[in-house]
Structure 1
Amino acid sequence: MTDYLPFAPVYRIFSPTSGAEVKELRALVDDKAWVKPDFSSSYRRLQSRSLQDEWDTFPPQKHVAYNLLFENVTISSESGLVRTQSGHMIGDTFDHSQAVVDLYKQSDAGEISIPKPKEKLVGCWLSLLFPNQDNYYHCLVMNIGRLFQINDSEVQMIQGVLVPYHLTAVQYRTIEIALKLIFCDREIEIKKIEWGQSVEVDKIFYPWNAVSLALGYTHSGVISFFRRVASSLKFLDVSFPKRFYIDRRTASNRVLHNEDELVEVLEQRGFAIVQLEYLTLDEQAGLFSNAEYIIGAHGAGLANMVFCQPETKIIELMPHTLLRWCYRQIAMVADLPYQCVITESYSESEGIPPAWASHSISIPDILDALKD
């Protein structure tokens, strides 16, 4: 039977300041100059369906990323849930977590209890524990992308890295390459944390806020870092297609009903058809970093846009009841021309959320987008 720590109130980090709960080591202001990409044709497609562009009223806003230090804390589960020495739960570490998976308890008053730690780690440890790791976008962009925040002097503080136990081969390979860029030839201890496992730690180095969902913005440092990752890989005697479509016909959600027809149309126009689930991380990074034109439905595969070089064209297929603009924003910061083709979602008739519902695309709409 699992033993639990006492219930503790939740403390959220809004603007970090030095204090008992958290120490701010460094603030990273985003100095990237950007302009909104031309969205006129996509905007016309939104208007034809009487849909509003939320960027008209709430455009992405730059934010500040922070390197934080927690001292004498308990960190729990693959999501990296942090409990401070003074008895507060850091609410930001719970975003996208699930009590049934991470094995924490929540009281009627909103306080949280995590499993008791069974070991203590000495020294300073970098936390790459993060909620919703099974989602490739969250793992790649929101978690591993935070590594751009660590400079050479901060590397010397860190003696080990905490990583989730249950990751795919692609995710582990990404972490391996990214840590190599940060720590170079230095030997660094890696400890895997399982669901519901808690450990006491002397110090946790915690890069925070590289991606702000509240402000709809990804720090440009994330893009620069993944371009470094791609350039560190060697693709000898490998020929990547310059124009490709991301095939989702094996996907379990957001099934595109007329995808066979779409594939036929795109093949006739010189697009290769790729299935990312069968590619290694190295192959995915090489594919996107060498691309000139990418078409894909909204989904985690488009997270690989962070490997793209400037001026790579992007067309995203977006269900009309979904309208999530995380990839449009990445395109803006990464200097990628971006268009969106709105598809017909069947979320209402299927009675399920838009993120899971099937949809269909208008072939004339995709042909129109290809003319721009």
Structure 2
Amino acid sequence: MIEYLPSSFIFRLAPPDFDPEVKIIRAIKDNKEWVKPDFSSSYHRLQQFSLEDEWDTTPPYRHVAYNLLFEQVVISSESGLIRTHDGRMVADTFDHAQSSLDLFQYTDPHHVAIPKPQEKITGCWLSLLSSNQDNYYHCLVMNIGKLFQINPYEAIMIDGVLIPHHLTDVEYRAVKVALKLVFGDRAIEIKKIQWGQSIEVEKIFFPWNAVAVFFGYTHSGVISFFRQLSLVLDPLEVPLPTKFYIDRRAASNRVLQNEDELIEILEQHEFAIIQLEYLTFDEQLHLFANADHIIGAHGAGLANMVFCKPGTQIIELMPHTLVRWCYRQIAMVADLPYQCIITQSNSENEGIPPAWASHQISIPHILDVLKR
């Protein structure tokens, strides 16, 4: 039987006037200059599906990331749900969290209860806990990416790091490599937190807003950080393709029905066919860092774009009922030429959400793009 703390009011972090319990260590502005890249050919394909480009009315805009400090808190589960000293919950830590996994309970839309802590730890701990970390994009870009916010002076403040218990081998390796870049040869303590596990913590170092979830913007510092990760890796001693397609034939969702036909055409245009699920983190990083041309369907594998050098050309395949521009925005900030081919989703015929439904690509559309 799980024992719960008293129900707590939920509040959302709201800069620049943060809650009094939130201490601002540093604000990190994004000073990178960028302009909306040419999207004309992709825009034409949107129109063929009677879709509008939302960037025409609400383009992404630069924002500020913050390093925050919470004192005398309870932090709960792999999602890193934070309950402040005054007994209130930080709503931002619930984004993508699931009550069935994190074991919290809503008593009403504005109040929630989390399990009682069974342990107390002292010192200052960096929270790399995050919900939905089983999705590689969320884990890599939205969670590990916020490590760019920690400078050498702030790294000295940190005694240990809290990470989710259930990371894949690739995700855990990404965490270790990223921490090496931040902390160097210093032996930093790592503590794994399981689903529903709550602990009292003296201080939580909380990097926030590296990716603005509701505005679709990734801070350019995230890109700069990931491009440095190769500095702590040994080079691969095998040749790497510079043109490749991300093969999703083993995927359980968003099956591309005519992928075999697409792959046959891409091979004729000298694209290597890569199944990322069989590669280590180090291999994926080097593969994308070496690339000149990448084609891939909307999915977590494209998160590796953050390792690409400026000028790498990206072509994303996007189901017409699942138009999400997270990778387009990363491409813009990272100086990666970007095109999108809209595919025909079967979500209505299959009666399932667009994120899971199969889709089909127009072969003339991909041939048109390959000619450019």
TM-score range, shorter chain: over 0.9
SS in 2 for 1:303: helix
Tell me the residue number matched to 1:271: 271
Relative to structure 1, the CA distance from residue 18 to residue 343 in structure 2 (aligned partners, 3 Å threshold; closer, same or farther) is closer
CA displacement, residues 155-204 of structure 1 (integer Å, 9 cap, x when unaligned): 11100000000000000000000000100011111100000000000000
SS in 2 for 1:322: coil
Tell me the residue number matched to 1:70: 70
CA displacement, residues 45-72 of structure 1 (integer Å, 9 cap, x when unaligned): 1112211000001101111000000000
Does residue 112 in structure 1 map to residue 118 in structure 2?
A: no
Tell me the residue number matched to 1:232: 232
The amino acid across from 1:313 in the alignment is Q
Contact 1:16–1:23 under 8 Å retained in 2: no
CA distance in 2, matches of 1:348, 1:2: 41
Q: Please, which runs of 5 or more residues in structure 2 have no aligned partner? A: none
Contact 1:63–1:215 under 8 Å retained in 2: no
Contact 1:62–1:215 under 8 Å retained in 2: no
Tell me the residue number matched to 1:217: 217
Sequence identity percentage = 69
CA displacement, residues 311-338 of structure 1 (integer Å, 9 cap, x when unaligned): 0000000001111000000000000000
CA displacement, residues 237-278 of structure 1 (integer Å, 9 cap, x when unaligned): 221100000000000000000000000000000000000000
CA distance in 1, matches of 2:43, 2:67: 38
Contact 1:21–1:84 under 8 Å retained in 2: yes
Tell me the residue number matched to 1:50: 50
Contact 1:16–1:22 under 8 Å retained in 2: no
CA distance in 2, matches of 1:277, 1:219: 27
Q: Shift in Å at residue 18 of structure 1?
A: 5.9
Normalized against structure 2, the TM-score is what? Answer: 0.99
Q: Please, which runs of 5 or more residues in structure 1 have no aligned partner? A: none
CA distance in 1, matches of 2:110, 2:155: 36
Tell me the residue number matched to 2:292: 292
Tell me the residue number matched to 2:140: 140
CA distance in 1, matches of 2:18, 2:254: 45
Tell me the residue number matched to 2:325: 325
CA distance in 2, matches of 1:102, 1:317: 33
Q: Shift in Å at residue 232 of structure 1?
A: 2.8
SS in 2 for 1:156: helix
CA displacement, residues 327-362 of structure 1 (integer Å, 9 cap, x when unaligned): 000000000000000100001111111111100000
Normalized against structure 1, the TM-score is what? Answer: 0.99
Tell me the residue number matched to 1:365: 365
Does residue 36 in structure 1 map to residue 36 in structure 2?
A: yes
Is the deviation greater in 83-92 or in 105-114? 105-114
CA distance in 2, matches of 1:194, 1:107: 23
SS in 2 for 1:107: strand
CA displacement, residues 80-121 of structure 1 (integer Å, 9 cap, x when unaligned): 000001010000000000000000000134310000001111
CA displacement, residues 188-235 of structure 1 (integer Å, 9 cap, x when unaligned): 111000000000000000000000121110000000000001343222
Tell me the residue number matched to 1:349: 349
SS in 2 for 1:349: helix
Tell me the residue number matched to 1:313: 313
Q: Over aligned residue pairs, what C-alpha RMSD do you find?
A: 0.9
Relative to structure 1, the CA distance from residue 76 to residue 48 in structure 2 (aligned partners, 3 Å threshold; closer, same or farther) is same
CA distance in 1, matches of 2:237, 2:7: 57
CA displacement, residues 283-303 of structure 1 (integer Å, 9 cap, x when unaligned): 000000000000000000000
Contact 1:81–1:90 under 8 Å retained in 2: yes
CA distance in 2, matches of 1:14, 1:370: 45
Question: 1:45-194, aligned counterparts within 5 Å?
Answer: 45-194=45-194
CA distance in 2, matches of 1:232, 1:243: 25
